[in-house]
Amino acid sequence: MNSIDLFLMGIRNLWRRKARTFLTVLGVIIGTTAIIVMVSLGLGMERAFMEQMEQMGSLTNVTVYKNWEGGSDTELNQKAIESFKNIENVEAVLAQKNSYMKISTGKYIASLGINGVDLDALEAFGFQTTEGRLLEETDKNGLLFGAQAMNEFYNPRKKQNRWEQEVEIDLLEQKRMVITTDQMYGEPVQDMSGDMKRPKPHDTKVVGILAESQDIRGWGIYMDINDMQKILETDAKVTGQKFDKNLVYDDVTIKVNNVDNVAAVSETLKVQGYQTWSMTDMLEEMRNTARTIQLVLAGIGAVSLFVAAIGITNTMVMSIYERTREIGVMKVLGSRLVDIKRLFLFEAALIGGIGGLIGLGLSFGVSKLINQLGAGALGMEGGSGLSYIPVWLAAAGIGFSMLIGLISGYYPAKRAMNLSALDAIRTE
Amino acid sequence: MSLIEVKDIKKVYRLGSEKVHALRGVSFNIEAGEVCVILGKSGSGKSTLLNMMAGLEKPTKGSVKIKGEAVTKMSEKRLAIFRQKNVGFIFQSYNLMGALTALENVAMPLTFRGIGSKRRNAAAKKMLENVGLGDRVKHKPNQMSGGQQQRVGIARALVGKAEVVFADEPTGNLDSKTSAEVMKLMVDICKHNNQALVIVTHDGSVGQYADKIVSILDGEVQNIVVKGEKKHEQA
């Protein structure tokens, strides 16, 4: 028997018992919709988590700390940085040393925390300028300003409190700008109590303004670590303070090539004795929670699909009772056993498939409705919604319902196949 | 070698603790193109005999060979294929598919053989014309009389040009006039196509169409009459 004939015969048999077929299909529709919508809620939640995380910062970054509890040597020095770069899947390392300095231009001054960084890492970490350009080796004492950092400038001679002053200066166009570690520099009232020698300020210039950003970068000021070291050394000589030539960083961030590798890199670092923190730590926890919720939701959906599966089996068994004679005649007329099995399997799979297809359509509708109602109720604007049906879920939904149909149809099909032809035609 | 060789068939049923001997050692042969009537009262074992010949039931002892192949030893799977190729079947109660038209009913055995719809519908139409139902092609069984339904049944059994056609009380549900028409039709077509026709019946009048009459009584062959030969008794 060829497949087309089998197909037509199966459709015909289902069509012959429209009401019952419809009711069975309805069961599958409800089951499929329940499971897809439930899973879509879980997925929507996970996606919302992810989006929230991404807003908070890059998921591929790992921050490394020195182990404060002592033990192994975990000083964040140049040697450590080099070793971090050699860890598998590490894309770049941004090491920073922070130093509090005074910057002055014209009549304005600002006290700012300066981050000394390795220039190579800037691009890899997504530093972007809206004006000017990123730092280059040749920029002696060059600075990169965070978009919001310029608010720190004030005119010390004004009576107005420095926080209330509104200063508008084009940092890129300043004729002369100086930087110094001398915290008294430019202040009108000089504290003369100390006998400390004052270092001379160093010429500097701003080469670029960083794109506005919600994270720390918007407020930061960046400079070549080598320039910074030189300034610190020179000034320390004047003031007679101690200067440690051995460079130790305050803040190290590692960029991993892929979110999935973050955990492995963190683990490697922990084994070496460092302490680490990454968004992924939090993400993993959130994901686990999301998984659990998804499983529970899918379980609830699965119950209804299971009931639908029983419905299919029941329908097919009933159908065998009604068609016993017909099956017997088919056998006597020379239908192969596999054809009878295939016929019943096909009918069951068709019930599952049609139910799955309609159920999928319904799921998209329900999902849309949930998102509209949900957005209204929760006041989420432009959010990606509570329910989310990715392509794989749609495909899995249909595939699963057909599979359920096949499984539910297997026992009846086997039974039909094994009916004795003689008993079947004797049945009146 | 005869087309069908029935050799010492025995069948014992168990009914509780009692043994019922339905067949007690039956042997006879049927030749190609022969019309053979197996005659017997109800309970004589004739239907059981037919079921064994068609491979629907296994004997307790003995064998049935069709075209040299022992149908009594075949698996269900092999039997299905064997029937598909070599055997047609006519039922007392027609057993047409109620949902299908006359044409589709007749084409059904060809469908099982995997023949495409164009070819099988053409063959089925021709067969329906042969049985005089050329104008009933699109009718469903419940729109036809008993005689017409049985003619559809005959067309269905013969459409595959099987070498052996079994008929189980084919006229059992028909009045005598229609019975005669149906019998004549069956025999004519089978003769024309050189198909062996094996008819099981309790109706002695069917004997007039036969080349060979095998009478069964209490599970044993009472006598075999071959037309043109004289009656010879069986021990």
Under the banding of pLDDT at 50, 70 and 90, the label for residue A381 is: very low
Mutate to test the interface with B, among A4, A332, A422 (most CBs of B within 10 A): A332
The pLDDT value recorded for residue A55 is 65
C-alpha span between A398 and A35 (Å, rounded): 11
- Higher-scoring residue by pLDDT: A75, B205: B205
Q: Nearest Cα to B156, choosing from B199, B178, B189?
A: B189
Mean pLDDT of A70-91: 81
| pLDDT value for A57 | 61
Say if the Cβ atoms of B81 and A425 lie within 8 Å.
Answer: no
A423 close to B (CB below 8 A): no
Region B44-72: what's the mean pLDDT? 92
Cβ count near B192 (within 10 Å): 11
Q: What CA–CA distance (Å, rounded) separates A370 from A118?
A: 49
A425/B contact by beta carbon, under 8 A:
yes
CB contact under 8 A, A336 and B89: no
Q: Do A334 and B80 touch (CB under 8 A)?
A: yes
Phi (first) and psi of residue B214, to 5 degrees: -105, 115
Among B13, B97, B163, the strongest candidate for a mutation testing the A interface, having the largest count of A CBs within 10 A, is B97
A339: nearest CA in chain B? Answer: B112
A332 and B89: CB-CB below 8 Å?
Answer: yes
- From A14's Cα to the closest Cα of chain B, the distance in A is 12
Asked if residues A352 and A401 have their Cβ atoms less than 8 Å apart, the reply is: yes
Q: What is the pLDDT, as a whole number, of residue A191?
A: 61
Question: Across the interface, do A421 and B81 touch by the CB < 8 Å criterion?
Answer: no
- Measured distance CA(A117)–CA(A252) in Å, rounded: 10
Whether residue A282 lies within 8 A of chain B, CB to CB, comes out as no
Q: Residues for chain A: how many in total?
A: 428
B114·A1 Cβ contact <8 A: yes
Give per-residue pLDDT as tens, A98-154: 888 988 888 888 888 899 988 888 888 878 888 888 888 888 888 888 877 777 888
Which of A231-245, A274-288, A318-332, B177-191 has the least mean pLDDT? A274-288
pLDDT mean over A253-267: 85
In A, minimum Cα distance to B48 occurs at A422
Tell whether the model's pLDDT for residue A377 goes beyond 80.
no
Range with the poorest average pLDDT among A11-25, A373-387, B149-163: A373-387
Percent of chain A with pLDDT over 70: 93
Closest residue in B to A337 (Cα–Cα): B77
CB contact under 8 A, A332 and B84: no
Cβ atoms of B200 and B169 closer than 8 Å: yes
- Name the pLDDT band for A374 (thresholds 50, 70, 90): confident
- Chain B residues at the A interface, defined by Cβ less than 8 Å, are 51, 54, 56-57, 76-77, 80-81, 83-85, 87, 89, 91, 93, 95, 97, 99, 108-109, 111-114, 116-117, 156, 160
Q: What is the pLDDT of residues A134-147, one digit of tens each?
A: 888 888 888 888 87
Q: Are B84 and B74 in contact (CB under 8 A)?
A: no
Asked if A422 is an interface residue toward chain B (Cβ–Cβ < 8 A), one would say yes
From chain A residues 12-41, the ones with a CB under 8 A of any chain B CB are: 12-13, 16
- The answer to whether the Cβ–Cβ distance between B112 and A336 falls below 8 Å is yes
- pLDDT tens digit string along A36-73? 998 898 888 888 877 777 666 677 888 888 877 766 67
Q: What is the mean pLDDT of residues A196-219?
A: 79
Q: What is the mean pLDDT of residues A380-408?
A: 83
How confident is the model over B132-142, as a mean pLDDT?
93
Instruction: Determine the pLDDT at residue A244.
Output: 80
Q: Is A193 left (phi over 0), alpha (psi -120 to 50) or beta?
A: alpha
CB-based contact A1 B112, cutoff 8 Å: yes
Q: Rounded CA gap, B49 and B6, in Å?
A: 9
d(CA A206, CA A104): 12
What is the bridge-based pairing of β-strands B212-217 and B35-40? parallel
Listed in order, strand segments (DSSP E) in A33-124 are 61-65, 90-105, 108-117
Helix segments in A272-390, DSSP class H: 279-332, 337-378
- Kindly list the residues from chain A whose CB atom is less than 8 angstroms away from the CB atom of residue B114: 1-2, 5
Q: How many contacts (CB atoms, under 8 Å) link A and B?
A: 61
Q: Is A5 on the interface with B (CB under 8 A)?
A: yes
Rounded to 10 degrees, what is the CA torsion of A321, A325, A329, A335?
Answer: 0
On chain A, the residues whose CB falls within 8 A of the CB of B111 are 1, 5, 9
β-strand A90-105 against A177-180: which pairing, if any? Answer: antiparallel
Which residues 303-342 in chain A show a CB within 8 A of chain B?
325-326, 329-337, 339
Give percent of chain B above pLDDT 90.
78
User: B56: which chain A residues are within 8 Å (Cβ-Cβ)?
Assistant: 332, 420-422
Structure confidence by residue, pLDDT tens digits, A305-347? 889 899 999 999 998 888 888 899 999 988 999 999 999 999 9
Of B142, B38, B157, the closest CA to residue B109 belongs to B157
* pLDDT of A221 above 60: yes
Whether B109 and A5 lie within 8 Å, measured CB to CB: no
- Mean pLDDT rounded to a whole number for chain B: 91
Identify which of B85, B89, B117 has the shortest CB distance to residue A333: B89
B231 pLDDT more than 80:
no
> For chain A, what is the mean pLDDT?
84
Q: What is the mean pLDDT of residues A26-30?
A: 93
Search chain A and give the residue with CA nearest B58. Answer: A422
Test A333 with B156 for CB contact under 8 angstroms: yes
Q: What is the spatial distance between Cα A110 and Cα A108, in angstroms, rounded to a whole number?
A: 7
> Does residue B19 carry a pLDDT above 70?
yes
- What does the pLDDT read at residue B130? 92
Which residues from chain B sit within 8 angstroms of residue A326, using beta carbons?
Answer: 97
> pLDDT at position B233, please?
52
**Which domains, ranges and CATH numbers included, belong to chain B?**
32-59+73-233 (3.40.50.300)
Name every chain B residue with its beta carbon within 8 A of the beta carbon of A333.
83, 89, 108-109, 112, 156
Question: Given an 8 Å threshold on Cβ–Cβ distance, is B80 in contact with A331?
Answer: yes
A316/chain B closest Cα distance in angstroms: 18
B235 pLDDT band, cuts 50/70/90, is: very low
Cα(A394)–Cα(A358) distance, rounded to whole angstroms? 11
Rounded CA-CA distance A103/B74 in Å is: 102
The edge-to-edge listing of strands for the beta sheet with B232-233 is: B87-90, B164-168, B196-201, B35-40, B212-217, B220-226, B232-233
What is the reported pLDDT for A47?
82
> Could you read off the pLDDT of A393-402 as tens digits, one per residue?
999 999 989 9
Closest partner CB to B112 (pick from A12, A334, A425): A334
pLDDT for the residue A383 = 57
Q: What burial letters (b/e) apply to A369-382, b meaning 16+ CB within 10 Å?
A: ebbeebbeeeeeee
Instruction: Please tell me the predicted confidence (pLDDT) of residue B158.
Output: 93
Question: What is the rounded CA–CA span in Å between residue A324 and residue A422?
Answer: 11
Span A175-188, average pLDDT: 83
User: What's the rounded mean pLDDT across residues A250-269?
Assistant: 86
What tokens does A162 get? 């420095």
**pLDDT of A77 higher than 80:** yes
Closest CA to A130 of A104, A148, A113: A148
Work out the average pLDDT over B175-192.
92
Measuring CA to CA, how many Å separate A205 from each of A105, A109, B169?
A: 10, 14, 113
Whole-number pLDDT of residue A59: 77
pLDDT higher for A159 or A297? A297
